[in-house]
A and B are shown apart, each in its own frame.
Chain A
Amino acid sequence: MEPEATVVSALSAEDERLVDALRARDEAAFTALVDEYGRSMLSLARLFVRNRSVAEEVVQEAWLGVLRGIDRFEGRSSLKTWIFRILTNAAKTRAEREGRTMPFSSFADDERGVDPDRFLNEGRWAGHWVTPPSPWEQPEGRLLAGEARALIDLAITELPGPQAAVITMRDLIGFDSTDVCNVLEITESNQRVLLHRARSKVRQALEEYMSA
């Protein structure tokens, strides 16, 4: 068999199999993909639309986009990356239509993870804690409480868009850093900076509640 003109394919053997199956209108392959990614898609969509039923509609739109696009899918990214780009685009469109401020639109500032006033400014111990983190009481139990969930949810909402997107993908959905970089089209180091700021701020938001 003559090789086609080289198109760099990012597809694994498993991806190839799934793409072929979808193109053959194989229902089992579709169901398997929905089972694999549906929950993560819904969790990510919620970041944009903040309401589960609208997020469900976004997930539906995204799957329709996947089906309509699969025959033309070129495999320049993995199937997972491609599906999640379709999802984020569908979610952004929906958020715009609803007049919500969009994640991914604002750019990262260069603030620090921890308020600099919490460290000594000068002297022999410059840079050491002056207001150390207060101890958290029974953290495992408290973190499960509704109040903690609400605080974390709000803290993520208030993050600049790219930070919110990265922490959601990494810590809420459980993507690895490579997946995040591929879907958001950012570099590894950028990803790490955004994750760092996001986690620092969510920790800060929890501090008072967790130590009270």
Chain B
Amino acid sequence: MKLSRDLTCKEVVELVTEYLEGGLSTVERDRFEEHLGFCDWCVRYLDQIRLTVEGVWQLREEDLSPELKEDLLSAFRNWRDE
């Protein structure tokens, strides 16, 4: 990466996951945050990625039903008594 040049939006959107994962070097992170300092659109984009992650989390399944747990327990007992 060229140090002298500011990041473009196009580059920033491809770095958001690295940024959120803590994968950027200190220098890269500073440049990333510097861009966010003057670009509301990229701030919005980053925000929407965070919201997307929250949205995906809503899709997790409910816990196993009591019936299924009961079946699993019977399976366990059958195996134990083999």
Contact = CB atoms under 8 A, between A and B. Distances in A.
Interface residues of A, number: 58
Given A59-B68, A126-B8, A172-B59, A199 B79 contact: no
Contacts of A143: 51, 54-55, 58
Given A39-B63, A119-B10, A177 B21 contact: yes
A203 B44 contact: no
Interface residues of B, number: 43
Interface string B59-81: 11111110011011101110110
A129 B60 contact: no
A32 to B, nearest CB: 12
A46 B48 contact: no
The binding surface of chain B is classed by DSSP as helix
A132 interface: yes
B69 A149 contact: no
Contact of A128 (B8, B49, B56, B76): B8
A196 B16 contact: yes
For the complex of A and B, 7 pairs with smallest distance between CB atoms: A127-B8, A196-B17, A132-B41, A171-B56, A127-B10, A25-B80, A119-B10
Interface of B: 8-11, 13-14, 16-18, 21, 23, 39, 41-42, 44-45, 48-49, 51-65, 68-69, 71-73, 75-77, 79-80
